[in-house]
Amino acid sequence: MSLNRLHCQALTAFLLGFATMAASAQTASPSNEGVTKWWPDVKNNVIWTGQRVDAKNTQTYDQAVQLCSTLVIGNMNGWHLPTIEELDSVTQPATEEGYALTTHLNLHDTGRLWADGFVRFAPHGPGGIMWSSTPGPKGKMVMENIMAASHFNSATNDHINRGAYCVRPMDPEIAAIAKQVLPTNAVANLTELQNLVPLRQAFDAYTKHDYAGSLAGAQAALEINPQFPEAFYAKALSQAGLDQWSDAVTSLKMVKKLKWGSMNDAIDWAEKNEKAAASGKALDPKKNITPKWDFGSPPQT
């Protein structure tokens, strides 16, 4: 083979490679590889992505559609950009002093969508207007985040940048578990969702002051996942209800180690009760406030 022919083949390969790279650059869309969690919406029998799939609110309409259509979480595909009705189904009216009743879209950082007059989107910071797939009088419909009479606007330009979530039908296996727990947390897989079942049982028992039953549920959750911070938190409050203060302190310190939430106030509360129990002194009930436990939400202490 002649040297000129080798040069020709090399040049052809280079040009073909360059053309492929150029084509890829033109069709490339922002990555959604960081989207790994999903939230089951039992009421509407669908699953939402546990976070926005856009890169900090920088998607055109076409990019948002592509992100959803190509999204795979675990072994789940078949996602789509939601319609305005689907977006509206996970919002509810909210009021703010000085403003009329209106509807807005907000995001719980664990994946729950709900209404709030002043919208905050964690972890991307304030603001956020979400694309929907519904055609409007002037373009695609979007969910607005401003205090306005209507909760959606019609975009006149598909190339403007907006945020996006994705939604898909809920599988029967997931629905059967989700209906038992009505989760407000996004989960990474079916096992993580299943782990919420004994935790739900623990919470229900705790609200009835059945601390032994609550402790049993928390222990069952920890048998499934020994690193489950919310189960340790449930265990701690159950132990406190049973006056097992030393164990409660240990469990709360484990929650802190797992970095689920700020445990300093709760640990201080348990340690004071531990000392009071050891000395036979009662604490001032006005200053001895039991930490709250809202199922599926970070602790409020």
Per residue in 57-98, pLDDT tens? 678 888 989 999 999 998 999 999 988 788 777 654 443 433
Partner residues linked to 126 by β-bridges: 120
How many Å apart are CA 62 and CA 219, to the nearest integer?
Answer: 47
Q: What is the pLDDT of residue 176?
A: 94
Fold (topology level) of 195-279:
1.25.40
Q: How far apart are CA 126 and CA 104, in angstroms?
A: 14
Per-residue pLDDT of 206-247, as tens digits, reads: 999 999 999 999 999 999 989 989 999 999 999 999 999 999
Q: Give the per-residue pLDDT at 19.
A: 34
Backbone φ and ψ for 276, nearest 5 degrees, come out as -65, -40
How far is residue 286's CA from residue 147's CA, in Å, rounded to a whole number?
39
User: Residue 8: what pLDDT?
Assistant: 41
- Name the stretches of the chain with pLDDT < 70: 1-33, 55-57, 90-128, 137, 143-154, 156, 296-301
Structure confidence at residue 22 (pLDDT): 34
Residue 133 is predicted with a pLDDT of 87
Q: What is the pLDDT of residue 29?
A: 44
Q: What's the rounded Cα separation, in Å, for the pair 228 and 238? A: 16
**pLDDT value at position 144?**
57
Q: Where are the domains of the chain?
A: 38-169, 195-279
277 vs 91, 124, 177, 273, CA distance in Å? 46, 45, 40, 6
Q: What does the pLDDT read at residue 298? A: 61
